[in-house]
Structure 1
Amino acid sequence: MPQHHEHGQLTSDLAAPPTALAQDGQTKAILMMCAASLIFAAQDGISRHLGSSYSPIFVVMLRYWFFALFVTLLVARQPGGLKRAIRTKRPLSQIARGVILVFEVVVTVEAFVRLGLINTHAIFACYPLLIVALSGPFLGEKIGWRRWAAVGVGFIGILIVLQPGRGVFTVEAGLPFLGAAMFAVYSLLTRHVARDDPAMVSFFWTGIAGVVAITLVGLREWEPIAASDLPWLLLLCMTACTAHYLLIRAYELAEASALQPFAYTQLVWISLFGVTIFGETLAPHVAIGGAIVVGAGLFTWWRSRVRARAGLN
């Protein structure tokens, strides 16, 4: 986890030439997004395991109790401490993103149990495209026609994965679609608040708003926990903290529209975990469609790098 000296490094970076700063920040953000995607994939596997034995709301509530404690301890060590972390210029947006995220997690865990990791993520993978499409009207970010074309190719890849008309479009398939829409809104709100609030403030509000919301509905779902599941629960809590912080930091360093395609790499990790650990089937059309989606994401990244070097907006 980044500590004090890395925040100081960000300050010193401001003296660098604008173009060099943008390229360096974007590279860091991409690496953070890829790392977060791998951690999220591992976390999803643990959630599927626990969610098959316990209520998803109960599992998410326990995870958020740990998350909120971790956030509070980490923020208390930062300059200004908790008093600084509580001060946000956009309190309603911070509360909204925290609440949306925690219930998106509940919806998605339920989908893992009902549909499996691979099928859920094959549908959920549309959320980065939703973000790219909405980042213009919502955040004022400029997206060129080449990146729009890449988004279109990415959607074709998702259609290959889903094979419309082959029975994938069920009522249960609505769960990952709902989760994707919620996560897209959360991601846009994260980028929105990052313009005024530093990462630690957003991190704090993610944990506190989320834990209050999930506890209000989760206590009635309480049930005994088997001793053999405690290590998995602890690992779930640790991965959640790490991945969400990486995500917040990444949005501070790069545009949402340039960064989001790299979230597609999570589909690759999910497929590997689903097949090797949970015995799920990775059909050829899922592999082909996933490769197209990742390729579209890589092209989008390449275009954003070209624009940065050319000094374009």
Structure 2
Amino acid sequence: MRNDTRLGILLMTVTALIFAAQDGLSRHLAGEYNVLMVVMIRYWFFAAFVIAIAARMSGSLKAAASTAQPVLQAFRGLLLAAEICVMVLAFTLLGLVESHAIFAAYPLLVAVLSGPVLGEKVGWRRWTAIAVGFVGVLVILQPGVAVFAPAAAVPLLSALMFALYGLLNRYVARKDSAATSFFWTGTVGCVFMTIVGIWFWEPMTAPDWALMATLCVTGVAGHFTLIKTYEVAEASTVQPFAYLQLVFATAIGILVFGEALETHVLVGALIVVAAGIFTLLRSRKAAVIASDP
């Protein structure tokens, strides 16, 4: 594999920008139409992309679909589709700024769950970072200052689901290739979203169809650049730069949707991101130590 860290960082930055734009489009469309319908259409295009890429990576569609753990792979696909629906719903309830500030806690949840799910050991430094990170979440939510808004639990649930999805990716990778996991993610999610989303079909205006098409294209483009990122650089090196999606999404929320960045949200998000990056770096160091003979 080519190892070009600078190119990897650039590609991850572009990926974060594309995904932030996708979130902005999702926020608008889900505010006008049913969330399930919006995610369903998005999945139709995503599945076509997944099938083409997975078949190319594996040599054939049959090889891409072949797995020794179909139930777990199917659950992963369902989990990601459900997580996307929950996060898009959060955009409509809280906006991009607060939703992403809370969602930024997902690497901390990955660290918390890595023990029971993967059997990994989490040292005291990472536990300290996790505790500090969740203090940041409390700063964002401000419990006790005002009545806790139930809507704030929605992006937190999304973060928990995404963390579990990420851990399951690592678990299934013990037996299946990345192409196989990618195939099951797109196809199962597409089938699931079609079954539940088709009942909520609504007529869409021409301008919004254009935005929907743009949403589908950004979804494919974002996954393509993400694949290229991991082809040219180590995931552990570029992963911290994925936090730029929070920055870009916040800018879109403020400039496009007129959202406000309150002081407690900014302070809390900075704490969460700092703790998350530290956790990622410690995880990388632990993996390096474990791999040394």
TM over 0.5, yes or no?
Answer: yes
C-alpha change, 1:34 and 1:147, in structure 2 (3 Å) is farther
Distance 1:148 1:312 in 2: 22
**3-state SS in 2 of match to 1:282:** coil
**1:48 maps onto 2:27 in alignment:** yes
Distance 2:134 2:238 in 1: 17
CA contact (8 A) 1:58 1:218 kept: yes
Distance 2:160 2:63 in 1: 31
- Say which structure, 1 or 2, has more relative contact order (CA 8 Å, 6+ apart): 2
Residue in 2 that maps onto 1:293: 272
- Please state how far the C-alpha of 1:32 moved relative to its aligned partner: 6.7
C-alpha change, 1:117 and 1:281, in structure 2 (3 Å) is same
Residue in 1 that maps onto 2:178: 199
- Please state how far the C-alpha of 1:195 moved relative to its aligned partner: 1.9
- Please state how far the C-alpha of 1:155 moved relative to its aligned partner: 1.5
CA contact (8 A) 2:90 2:154 kept: yes
CA contact (8 A) 2:45 2:216 kept: yes
Bigger shift: 122-131 or 98-107? 122-131
Alignment of 1:1-313 (within 5 A): 9=1, 36-167=15-146, 169-244=148-223, 246=226, 263-304=242-283
C-alpha change, 1:248 and 1:214, in structure 2 (3 Å) is farther
Alignment size in residue pairs: 290
C-alpha change, 1:232 and 1:92, in structure 2 (3 Å) is same
**3-state SS in 1 of match to 2:260:** coil
CA contact (8 A) 1:128 1:261 kept: no
- Please state how far the C-alpha of 1:291 moved relative to its aligned partner: 1.7
**3-state SS in 1 of match to 2:42:** helix
- Please state how far the C-alpha of 1:50 moved relative to its aligned partner: 0.6
Q: Deviations over 1:240-266 (max 9, x none)?
A: 23445637985x9657xx987655443
Distance 1:242 1:282 in 2: 28
- Please state how far the C-alpha of 1:99 moved relative to its aligned partner: 0.7
Distance 1:27 1:96 in 2: 35
- Letter of the 1:181 counterpart: L
C-alpha change, 1:161 and 1:27, in structure 2 (3 Å) is farther
Distance 1:149 1:30 in 2: 28
- The CA RMSD measured in Å over matched residues stands at 3.2
Bigger shift: 241-250 or 172-181? 241-250
State the identity as a percent.
51
Distance 1:144 1:25 in 2: 30
- Please state how far the C-alpha of 1:194 moved relative to its aligned partner: 1.7
C-alpha change, 1:237 and 1:289, in structure 2 (3 Å) is same
Q: Deviations over 1:273-298 (max 9, x none)?
A: 11111110001221122222222233
- Please state how far the C-alpha of 1:34 moved relative to its aligned partner: 5.6
Distance 2:106 2:184 in 1: 23
Bigger shift: 38-47 or 48-57? 38-47
C-alpha change, 1:173 and 1:43, in structure 2 (3 Å) is same
- Letter of the 1:195 counterpart: R
CA contact (8 A) 2:136 2:271 kept: yes
Unaligned runs of 5+ in 1: 1-8, 11-23
Bigger shift: 28-37 or 286-295? 28-37
- Please state how far the C-alpha of 1:60 moved relative to its aligned partner: 0.5
TM-score, length of structure 2 as denominator length: 0.85
Distance 2:172 2:5 in 1: 18
- Please state how far the C-alpha of 1:305 moved relative to its aligned partner: 5.5
**3-state SS in 2 of match to 1:77:** helix
- Please state how far the C-alpha of 1:53 moved relative to its aligned partner: 0.9
CA contact (8 A) 1:121 1:176 kept: yes
CA contact (8 A) 2:107 2:279 kept: no
CA contact (8 A) 1:28 1:253 kept: no
